[in-house]
Chain A
Amino acid sequence: MSVFLNIDNVSRLFGPNLSTGEKIAAKLGGNVETRAVRAVSEVSLTVRRGETLGLVGESGCGKSTLGRLIAGILPPTSGSILLDGTPVMVDGRKVTTRVQTVFQDPFASLDPRMKVGDTVSEGPIAHGLTTKSDAQGYVANWFERVGLDPVWVDRYPHQFSGGQRQRVAIARALAMQPDVLICDEPVASLDVSIQAQIINLFLELTCDLDLTCVFISHDLSLIRHVSDRVAVMYLGRIVELGPVDQVFAASAHPYTAALFGSVPKLVLDADELVHFDTIEGEVPSPLSPPPGCYYHPRCPCATDICATTQPETQTVSELRAVACHHFKAVLADKDPDLTSASTSVSAR
């Protein structure tokens, strides 16, 4: 299948917002923080049409920033993002409506003073997908598709529960008739029994509308459930990428393995005390990441080379890539067949 969304060597830096005085002080050698945070660092990814790509990582790993870059909400500092061959942003302005986003918090992402029907119809009217006179039927159609009663269009967000608000947010995104949907932790703020409803709606709609999806979550079991491929991020970099079943069955990066080991699992066995494979230490500050491999201070497999040289992205098999010096040893424990086919590709 062809490449639909092409993310090429994208980085995004966030510098401190310095006042004029601070800038002068910095020039004169004052103690002013001028370092920038590399939220996303040299990320290259391709997504095929109709595919769901899962983005996982801990807080601060840059997964939401990457989602915003793809959605055209933030311009990248360097690199390019092409949708079907055309850029998502030109000169810092979003030039396509084909990418839409569903945000985490449906309490913050809906205008509390706007009727939900108007929230859903505002974008399509502005972009000529419908007209003011046809808007009512257009909105009613999308309300029905996401499982809301069309008579609710005149209500305000506070009159809905969390799950219903997330349905409104999904209707708003889909009413723009996008090809790509970015879902940034869409169920993280919902109750467990409501989560399943929204996930089912998501699975049904992506299938019916043939949507390409980037699904961002910290919940590994959810990522496994909804995505075709998964990208694991750590401190702004993608450390492992591959089909979801393969990555979950035999992870090639020590961080992925440790992340999977940390997730509490439902224990059904009575007398067994569960053992947690905890990761030592904490995520380092993105202001001053460690030299070499960002994960080496916490990594049980780290050797001298990890402290000095940043690992290149290497292909494990046709569909899998990993950024680790020792992935062969990591994989050898799990699946000896995979390591034989591996070759190193040049750093991007």
Chain B
Amino acid sequence: MREPILSVSDLTTHFFTRAGVVKAVDGVSFDLAKGEIMGLVGESGSGKTVTGFSLLGLVDAPGRIVKGSVKLNGTELTTLSDPELRARRGHEISMIFQDPIATLNPMLTIGQQMRMAIDAHEWLSKRAADARAAELLTQVGIPSAAARLRGYPHEFSGGMRQRVAIAIALLHRPAVIVADEPTTALDVSIQAQILFQMRDLAAEMGTAMVWISHDLAVVSSLASKLAVMYAGRVVEQGPTATLLRDPRHPYTAGLISSLPAMSQPGMPLSQIPGTTPSLLSLPPGCPFAPRCDRATKACGTAPEMTMEDNRGWRCFHPVSAFKEATV
């Protein structure tokens, strides 16, 4: 296997609130090679966004990374000081957020904001910085980019704003980009354009990506491998196609079969009973056990990750590959 560019092991982030300790991320491990795209899938509150924030050291109090390591190009990020981290954020690892309205400064032109992002890491003349900014805007599909640099965020549509945010993330050609649901707020036709471009850009620049999403269909067309999160833990991970065709964890299997595309129109959808547990009062053992029809007494202790070939799952009673998983 290729040398991983990003290596995460046993990453654990807790929030120490007045109501108790929230175990938002609990022992997440994965490796990412150059140019590889990994989909991080889960429902709201499953810890996927906090995982993304933890990678960049963006977790604020009362949250803290309590253990584990994040190695980027061999450098341990979790023990770096703030200035050292700042030198890497946006330069070697950058992030794209869900809401481009909230991430762009409404008082500054796009050009000013892009120059600030360039100036943070290298010295370029204004003209050279503008040229670099315009080049990237063109790459992400913004027409007449040089003129648009003088525009303010409100003059851009939602899709165009997200393209600007992507261009800013790409300015320094970072080794890793963490994309937190960047297309969720957009229409399907714009989403398709952006997904297509991101896939090409990642391949072209050799940028590795962690693509956070709640939508299995989106990541299945984009990522070469997947990690499925539930209640702060990765419950299943592996190559995208293998995992979707032949899920082992009952939660993954339930998610896939609850999609309307998986049943006959008009017939009841297969559903996962119950609701996601509160992270404050997780059941002991496997957090999915109360909703799982395969749960037994053994599920009272938390299952370890079972590894087989290049995939893994946390379950004592994995779904059989031959009986139930044929979709």
Contact = CB atoms under 8 A, between A and B. Distances in A.
Interface of A: 58-59, 161, 163-164, 191-197, 199-200, 203-204, 218-222, 224-226, 244-245, 258-259, 261-271, 273-274, 276-279, 282-283
A204 B192 contact: no
Given A222-B260, A282-B157, A196 B269 contact: yes
A199 B193 contact: no
A220 B160 CA distance: 24
A283 B187 contact: yes
A271 B242 CA distance: 11
Range for the number of chain B residues in contact with chain A: 35 or more
Given A268-B244, A279-B193, 19 more contacts: A58-B188, A161-B275, A192-B259, A193-B254, A196-B270, A200-B271, A221-B259, A221-B260, A226-B265, A245-B265, A259-B189, A262-B188, A262-B192, A264-B215, A265-B261, A267-B240, A268-B327, A270-B239, A278-B189
In the A-B complex, the 10 residue pairs with the closest CB atoms: A270-B241, A262-B192, A196-B258, A225-B260, A196-B271, A58-B187, A191-B43, A196-B269, A274-B221, A264-B217
B190 interface: yes
Most buried by B among A164, A200, A218, A245: A200
B135 to A, nearest CB: 22
12 contacts: A163-B275, A193-B43, A196-B270, A196-B272, A199-B260, A264-B215, A265-B261, A266-B256, A268-B327, A273-B199, A278-B196, A282-B160
Nearest to B185: A59
Contacts of B159: 282
Contacts of A199: 260, 269
A203 B193 CA distance: 33
B261 to A, nearest CB: 5
Contacts of B275: 161, 163-164, 194
Contacts of B196: 276, 278
A270 to B, nearest CB: 4
Contacts of B272: 193, 196-197
Contact of B192 (A164, A220, A264): A264
Nearest to A164: B275
Interface string B205-226: 0000000001111101100000
Given A264-B217, A276-B195, A278-B196, A58 B189 contact: yes
A243 B297 CA distance: 49
Contacts of A220: 188
Contact of A265 (B193, B221, B271): B221
